Amino acid sequence: MSVLSLSKVLTGASRLVITNSKAPIISRLMSAKVGDVLPAVDLFEDTPAKSVNTGTLCASGKVLIFAVPGAFTPGCSLTHLPGYIKESDAIKAKGVKEIVCVGVNDPFVMAAWGKAQGADNKVRMLADPSAEFTKALGLDQDLAVLGGVRSKRYSMLVQDGKITQLNVEPDGKGLSCSLAENTLPSL
């Protein structure tokens, strides 16, 4: 994969990404928004050998995706992921076929974290190891203290391949609008 990334152009927040990845988004100057088609990018479940394409996963029906800055981090482990595990039945009762947690970690770390948290059969743990999906959405942030480029914290509802709700934490890391209890009422 070849990626040319020019960040902090003009306003400091603009970004130009040119990629030959499988993602249908070739150039993005801003973050994803409601109404956008979800980028089709391969994420990984359990091992690098098991890829899950976001375009295929979200092609029909409702899928709730939430992203975390990092597996095993305090806010993600104590609040964010446990909330979605706890509310998984209520979320699925609203017609959501899958609940997906995305982290810019390797698939082994995401699988171990999911197992440690009791996510089995409730929340799918998908790894975005090179942040390709996260960057395609324009929801990446540089968190050197956590290992470099990570995802902003967000929740998103995708219906039939289109983003219908998007809740991005104002600072990219906080715990408010992207929490399960705050996402559930709007489903």
Q: What is the pLDDT of residues 167-184, one digit of tens each?
A: 999 887 789 999 999 999
Check if the beta carbon of residue 23 is closer than 8 Å to that of residue 53: no
Q: Verify whether residue 76 is a known catalytic residue.
A: yes
How distant is the alpha carbon of residue 176 from its chain centre?
A: 16
Q: Which position has the token pair 């190891």? A: 129
Q: What is the pLDDT, as a whole number, of residue 174?
A: 85
Would the pLDDT of 154 be above 80? yes
- For 15, the token pair is 């970004």
Q: Of the residues 58, 76, 101, 177, which is catalytic?
A: 76
Whole-number mean pLDDT of the chain? 86
Q: What is the pLDDT, as a whole number, of residue 30?
A: 66
How distant is the alpha carbon of residue 68 from its chain centre?
A: 7
Measure the CA–CA gap between 112 and 127, rounded to whole angstroms.
11
Class of domain 32-186: alpha beta
Per-residue pLDDT reduced to its tens digit, 114-146: 999 999 999 999 999 999 999 999 999 988 776
Is 0.75 surpassed by the pTM of this model? yes
Residues contacting residue 89 through CB under 8 Å, at least 6 positions apart:
none
Residues contacting residue 82 through CB under 8 Å, at least 6 positions apart:
117
Domain boundaries, the chain: 32-186
